[in-house]
Amino acid sequence: MNKQFISSVIIAVIGCTAGNLQASPSTELAAIQREVSIMENILSSALKQDTGKQIHVSSANYFVGQGVVFELDMRGANRSLTIFSNGLNAPLPTVPEINLSNRSIELVSNQIEVISSEQGIKPSEETYQQAMLVRREGAQRIQDIAEQERDVGRKLRNLEREKRDLEFASRHDNSAEAKQLEQRKKALEKSIAELEKKQTTLTKQQQQLRQDINEKQAKREQQHAAEQQQLLEQISTSISLTLCDYGKGLRSLPNDEYVNFALKGFGNENTSLIKVFDKSDIKKCVAGDIKASELAKKAITY
């Protein structure tokens, strides 16, 4: 049993014809369909309970000569039972990274709005929403500071321009007004120094805020990864226990075929988490020859 099995499943879907379907007695297919439909409901209930309603079975597909494929979903898609159905669906959105150091504040703010409007939420809804809230608030604070910096910059440019005008006037005016011009120049220099100090403070605040946001983002990502791993363990345990307790219900499924589970987009929308159980191993667990934990270890995972 290796990765060639998955390829063979795909080939089976593409290559199946009406003749293939007629090759198996209709009564046999009807029995398998009924058992798979019942098992689908059992698995869906168990997964919902064991994962806090994060996972359910969205569809069940039987491939003659290969076995059953239960598609697991993290959204409220309609469940269906089909024979030789099309590929998996319902990809899950990832939590996008926002690199604050390489983006303008306006672009960061816009990106957050786009991310927030995307449908679907990853395994931990609370963690996802908290992460988005932190990024939204952080970007807004940075935008406020950046606006203050721009305002200070405008004032500095105006004062510098006025200072240059005063210096030019002083060089060409020997009257009593020269003293007034000099006094005004000193006042401008003082204001410029104060604004430059404020500008430096704002720049440091913005840099610190960016650093804080990146650190919080890293912590959220670590927490999210840990929750994903925990969810994977919950899924594996739930499936194994359910197969051990109710696997006998798949009595019409040939012993040399397999019971497969596919969760598309878990952690990466372009890949699927695949778990493959041998029908013979399920029978051993049902008979009490092996434990559910052993059945889980025997399953092949991609």
pLDDT tens digits, one per residue of 269-294? 566 789 999 999 999 999 999 999 99
Q: How many CB atoms lie within 10 A of CB 25?
A: 9
- Residue 41 domain-assigned? yes
- 77 and 105 both lie in a single domain: no
Residue with tokens 């809230």: 133
pLDDT in tens, 9-39: 433 443 343 334 344 467 888 999 999 999 9
**Percent residues over pLDDT 90 in the chain:** 27
59-81 b/e with 16+ CB inside 10 Å = b? bbbbbbebbbbbbbbbeeeebeb
Give the pLDDT confidence score for residue 37 in this predicted structure. 93
Asked if residues 199 and 156 have their Cβ atoms less than 8 Å apart, the reply is yes
Q: What predicted TM-score, i.e. pTM, was given to this entire model?
A: 0.55
Structural domain span for residue 36: 4-94+259-301
If pLDDT is split at 50, 70 and 90, which confidence band does 134 have? low
- 120 and 212 both lie in a single domain: yes
- 189 and 272 both lie in a single domain: no
Give the pLDDT confidence score for residue 39 in this predicted structure. 95
Q: Is residue 121's pLDDT more than 60?
A: no
AA identity, residue 240: S
Give the pLDDT confidence score for residue 269 in this predicted structure. 59
Asked if residues 231 and 51 have their Cβ atoms less than 8 Å apart, the reply is yes
If pLDDT is split at 50, 70 and 90, which confidence band does 157 have? confident
For the chain, the average pLDDT equals: 73
Side-chain-side CA neighbours of 10 within 13 Å: the count stands at 7
- 87 and 131 both lie in a single domain: no
Asked if residues 75 and 90 have their Cβ atoms less than 8 Å apart, the reply is yes
- Residue 149 domain-assigned? yes
Give the pLDDT confidence score for residue 197 in this predicted structure. 85
- Per the structure, the count of domains in the chain is 2
AA identity, residue 4: Q
pLDDT in tens, 45-56: 999 899 887 788
Give the pLDDT confidence score for residue 127 in this predicted structure. 55
Strand partners, 69: 61, 260
Q: Is residue 210's pLDDT more than 80?
A: yes
